Amino acid sequence: MNDPNFYSSNKKTKIVFCGHFAIDNIIRFEEERKQTLGGGVTYGSLALKIYTDNVWIGIVSSLGSLNFNEKLLEEIHNREINLAGVTRFNTSNTNFVLNYYNHSRDLRLVSKSPNLDFNNFPSDYLLQELDGIILCPLCNEIDIEYIKSLKNNLKDCYIAIDIQGFIRKIDDNGHIRLRSDDEFKQEVAYMIDILDEMLILKGSEEEMYALSGISDPIESIKNLATNDSMIITTLGTNGSLIAKRGKDIIKIPAFKSDRVVDETGAGDAYMSVFLYEFINSSKDWDAVKKSGYYASAAASFLVESKGPKGFQPKEKVLERISNKNYID
């Protein structure tokens, strides 16, 4: 693996991100921008690495080399994020066109990297005591067998899952819609059942509606909180909800940003900071609420700049929390 920091960082929180790197072609209000590196593994890892020095981060991904410029990984390398889990293939890489308009976006998949294979998960990662795994697929590149393998090979490791890349159904033209079929619902119910108290499941209001069939976000999250798993619904400018069976639902406000330039990756920043803070907390319900505030405030910085450039360290996040400048 050739990463001396991995074995000398016993006091650091160890988190691995799993999913595709994406090449993003972003069009915002009809203005096309330069290609950028996207995907939850990009936004989540960079957000967390800038947020705190007290973390070791690895990435597991399948990268298609035919249309991928290695210079896009420069910032990842500069932040000393470990790429031992990145397997390169002689294929096209996952490539999205994201067209933003009126606080909405149209998303189209142009090409896709190979699915993740647990056989390519680095043995060095498995031998260490990882604190957390974040599964942030983009286009169904992680399946239920992969999750079962993680469960069977890792002990006392929290698994955070962003439902985004599991719920997408992609047609032959790359157009994306949300799944709501019974098979998908059964797969998610199975994830919740087998991971239980080690699972943190996050989705947007729209995604949770597709999953539960319930339009009211509070009733929807109650419906999904069936065991000791933690369920998070993000609500955009309305903040987020956190639920667990037998606990009062936590409402987290959204924080005002100085400006809104690019919303891409805000959910990834939320998830990575939430998991880090939760791992390093007492893990009671008050600590969960506190972790939610950290996550929400951290995500509010990301939207202030193009691409993954808006991240801020914890000191800045704490300052925004103390100001209590919430979106009404």
CA distance 292 to 282: 14
CA distance 246 to 132: 24
CA distance 72 to 86: 14
For residue 39, which of 71, 17, 9, 55 has the smallest C-alpha distance? Answer: 17
On average, the pLDDT of the chain sits at: 91
Strands 22-28 vs 95-101: parallel, antiparallel or unpaired = parallel
* Length, in residues, of the chain: 328
Q: Per-residue confidence at 264, pLDDT binned at 50, 70, 90?
A: confident
Q: Please check whether residue 310 is in contact with residue 240, taking contact to mean a CB–CB distance below 8 angstroms.
A: no
- Structural tokens at position 191: 């994830």
Q: Is the dihedral of CA 316, 134, 156, 83 positive or negative?
A: negative
pLDDT of residue 261: 79
Q: What angle do CA 131, 77, 97 make, to 5 degrees?
A: 90
**CATH superfamily entry for domain 4-322:** Ribokinase (3.40.1190.20)
CA distance 269 to 304: 13
pLDDT of residue 10: 60
Q: Is the dihedral of CA 171, 118, 79, 258 positive or negative?
A: positive
pTM of the model: 0.92
Decide if pLDDT at 19 tops 90: yes
pLDDT tens per residue, range 265-277? 899 999 999 999 9
Strands 132-135 vs 13-18: parallel, antiparallel or unpaired = parallel
pLDDT tens per residue, range 137-193? 999 999 999 999 999 999 899 999 999 999 999 999 899 999 999 999 999 999 999
pLDDT of residue 215: 96
pLDDT of residue 31: 63
Window from 35-49, 61-75, 113-127, 296-310 with minimum mean pLDDT: 296-310
pLDDT of residue 104: 66
301 exposure class (CB count in 10 Å sphere: 0-12, 13-18, 19+): buried
pLDDT of residue 254: 96
pLDDT tens per residue, range 286-306? 999 999 999 999 999 988 887
